[in-house]
A and B are shown apart, each in its own frame.
Chain A
């Protein structure tokens, strides 16, 4: 096989190699470590783009690790959805890394760059793997790296939030393993494509177990996606984390959503007996409540970072309203909104950091503070981020929400979806307007801004995130066409199963 056939392993291999090298040179030659990190991120972006170009025609690349044939060995599967997530991860990683380096957030501890690369390795692996146990392992890789990143910078508040975050995720991992054990006991396989074929032959007396396994697995993914009522860990964790890290975490909830999109149609789709679409009836109510709780949090948040964290919950809820339809059109709209909401959430965290850096002791609290330098630019960026998150024109949030509204109109229960999406948009607009006017408009009497930071380069990263949103709106035609094609591919798991399982030894 040629070198190009090894493309699917590179998004996992590049960060896995970059992390230890960055760790080795970190103490003596910091500049070199930063260079390695940037190079690794750029290489991941290039590989992700190449993969996307190769799978955009509809081919499904299956890569058998160690050339062990598919149901027995572990496979990586690159299809349109996986490639889309890889590109999104790489773009977000570049933006976040730029911000961390420019604001010197990476200097608050020794291990930022290695942990960052391990986090990317876990994310890329989770998006690529075609094996359910391997998905668990990559979840653990990204979680373990995220524990380190979340605690980056230390401090009591961060440690407290860190304990809760780690405990919640450990319980989630235990539930994941129980669901995996049940599925393996019932089907005798861990390969997702193979499992999707074998669930059809499960004996009638075991149907109850299969249904329990499906619901358990879905609740683990819902925990990762921070769907109400499993969202309580998120606001505190994200608000306490270093802003650059929180911006990267904007994609962590999307990993849960991605896993739902990947596993439910493939394993618990048509023909899965009692487990057929078992999580689906629960998903829509949970998504509706998540959207309401998230945007209500936006209204009541006390700081900009907390507001961004609640906006992440709200936008994940909106995204899941689209996903819960499980139709090609609604899933396609959801995928477009997924890309948008990840970048918009990251932009909000970065803008919150810009305000916090310039307001001294006032931090990013949503209350009047000093008239700091560069207020106008920061205010414009905040406004753009808020417009994108709430879904007002002209940015991509508007297009995303419009597509979701249009696609769910054909489904039952569309009235609930419409009223919640439109209502939460309104609440979100009020929340952002309130916080924005307090921070960027009003000035507290007698307060003095600290000296302006020595660099204005820190405006670059949020500007990049917003520019990506602008590109996503300008190229909405291409993006939605790709998202629709990806959704159609996900909802036709038979093709993917054929591609994965015919992959013989090479």
Chain B
């Protein structure tokens, strides 16, 4: 089994899991799904410079074969942005849950069940202690 097949199937599985989770109704699953998708995207960007082993990343006259350093810079940028955005989404989802008493992404006033730690009567944004 080749290296390329391994990386490609890993990206595929991550995207599939990410899409499944991102389509769920609760914010926590959606955030996890987005994280999986962003992992897949980072792997994909990494592979866009071709998968090669044991090659120097910097061009040198003495070296005839080298690996492309640019995708690594792109991945770094992508990681920084997605990391920051994931943190922001987590805080936003938490604030939204605490203020509306529902963590459903579609935003309708679905009463929370007991597992959420919120009794039905309290699900109005007050008394949000777990």
Whether the pair B41, A156 counts as a contact (CB closer than 8 A) is no
| Assembled-state Cα–Cα distance A188/B50 (Å) | 11
Whether the pair A159, B34 counts as a contact (CB closer than 8 A) is no
Query: How many residues in A have their beta carbons less than 8 Å from beta carbons of B?
Result: 31
Whether the pair A162, B74 counts as a contact (CB closer than 8 A) is no
Find the B residue at minimum CB distance from A151: B92
Whether the pair A174, B96 counts as a contact (CB closer than 8 A) is no
| Assembled-state Cα–Cα distance A171/B40 (Å) | 12
B81 / chain A contacts, CB cutoff of 8 Å: 137, 140, 173
A144 / chain B contacts, CB cutoff of 8 Å: 84-85, 88
Q: Does B57 contact A (CB under 8 A)?
A: no
Whether the pair B22, A171 counts as a contact (CB closer than 8 A) is yes
| Assembled-state Cα–Cα distance A399/B67 (Å) | 55
Partner of A164, one of B47, B71, B77, B105: B105
Q: Does B117 contact A (CB under 8 A)?
A: no
Partner of B93, one of A137, A151, A163: A163
Whether the pair B78, A177 counts as a contact (CB closer than 8 A) is yes
| Assembled-state Cα–Cα distance A167/B25 (Å) | 12
Whether the pair A159, B105 counts as a contact (CB closer than 8 A) is no
Known contacts: A166-B85, A166-B92. The answer to whether A160 contacts B107 by CB under 8 A is yes
Known contacts: A161-B107, A163-B92, A167-B89. The answer to whether A156 contacts B37 by CB under 8 A is no
B107 / chain A contacts, CB cutoff of 8 Å: 160-161, 163-164, 236
A115 nearest CB across to chain B (Å): 13
Which residues of chain B from 63 to 84 have a CB within 8 Å of any chain A CB? 68, 70-71, 74, 77-78, 81-82, 84
A396 nearest CB across to chain B (Å): 36
Whether the pair A133, B74 counts as a contact (CB closer than 8 A) is yes
| Assembled-state Cα–Cα distance A167/B41 (Å) | 16
Whether the pair A170, B89 counts as a contact (CB closer than 8 A) is yes
Which residues of chain A from 133 to 156 have a CB within 8 Å of any chain B CB? 133, 137, 140, 144, 147, 151, 154-156
A192 nearest CB across to chain B (Å): 16
Q: How many A-B residue pairs have CB under 8 A?
A: 93
Q: Does A21 contact B (CB under 8 A)?
A: no
Whether the pair B85, A177 counts as a contact (CB closer than 8 A) is no
Find the B residue at minimum CB distance from A240: B107
Partner of B27, one of A163, A185, A190: A163
B93 / chain A contacts, CB cutoff of 8 Å: 163
Q: Does A52 contact B (CB under 8 A)?
A: no
Known contacts: A133-B74, A170-B34, A174-B37. The answer to whether A181 contacts B44 by CB under 8 A is yes
The A contact surface, by secondary structure, is helix
A170 / chain B contacts, CB cutoff of 8 Å: 34, 38, 82, 85, 89
Whether the pair A160, B37 counts as a contact (CB closer than 8 A) is no
Whether the pair B74, A167 counts as a contact (CB closer than 8 A) is no
Whether the pair A167, B30 counts as a contact (CB closer than 8 A) is yes
| Assembled-state Cα–Cα distance A133/B44 (Å) | 15
The B contact surface, by secondary structure, is helix
Q: Does A362 contact B (CB under 8 A)?
A: no
Whether the pair A163, B105 counts as a contact (CB closer than 8 A) is yes
Contact with B along A257-290 (1 / 0, CB 8 A): 0000000000000000000000000000000000
Contact with B along A234-253 (1 / 0, CB 8 A): 00100000000000000000
Q: Does B95 contact A (CB under 8 A)?
A: yes
Partner of A162, one of B45, B50, B92: B92
Q: Does B49 contact A (CB under 8 A)?
A: yes
B88 / chain A contacts, CB cutoff of 8 Å: 144, 147, 166
Query: How many residues in B have their beta carbons less than 8 Å from beta carbons of A?
Result: 36
B114 nearest CB across to chain A (Å): 22
Q: Does A182 contact B (CB under 8 A)?
A: yes
Find the A residue at minimum CB distance from B42: A177
A154 nearest CB across to chain B (Å): 8
| Assembled-state Cα–Cα distance A164/B89 (Å) | 10
A160 / chain B contacts, CB cutoff of 8 Å: 96, 100, 107
| Assembled-state Cα–Cα distance A151/B107 (Å) | 15
Partner of A177, one of B22, B45, B89, B92: B45
Partner of A156, one of B27, B44, B74, B125: B125
B41 / chain A contacts, CB cutoff of 8 Å: 174, 177-178, 181
Partner of B105, one of A151, A167, A171, A185: A167
B78 / chain A contacts, CB cutoff of 8 Å: 177
Partner of A180, one of B34, B49, B74: B74
Contact with A along B87-123 (1 / 0, CB 8 A): 0110011011001100001110000000000000000
B74 / chain A contacts, CB cutoff of 8 Å: 133, 180-181, 184
Partner of A171, one of B37, B70, B95: B37
Known contacts: A181-B44, A184-B74. The answer to whether A174 contacts B38 by CB under 8 A is yes
A173 / chain B contacts, CB cutoff of 8 Å: 81-82, 85
Whether the pair A166, B77 counts as a contact (CB closer than 8 A) is no
Whether the pair B92, A181 counts as a contact (CB closer than 8 A) is no
A183 nearest CB across to chain B (Å): 9
A151 / chain B contacts, CB cutoff of 8 Å: 92
**Closest A-B pairs by Cβ, 8 of them:** A160-B107, A181-B48, A185-B48, A159-B96, A156-B100, A181-B45, A156-B99, A177-B41
Beyond contacts A167-B22, A184-B70: 11 other A-B pairs, Cβ-Cβ < 8 A, are A144-B84, A144-B88, A155-B99, A163-B27, A163-B92, A166-B92, A173-B85, A174-B82, A181-B47, A181-B48, A185-B47
What are 9 A-B contacts with C-beta separation under 8 Å?
A137-B77, A151-B92, A156-B125, A163-B96, A166-B85, A171-B37, A178-B44, A181-B74, A184-B70
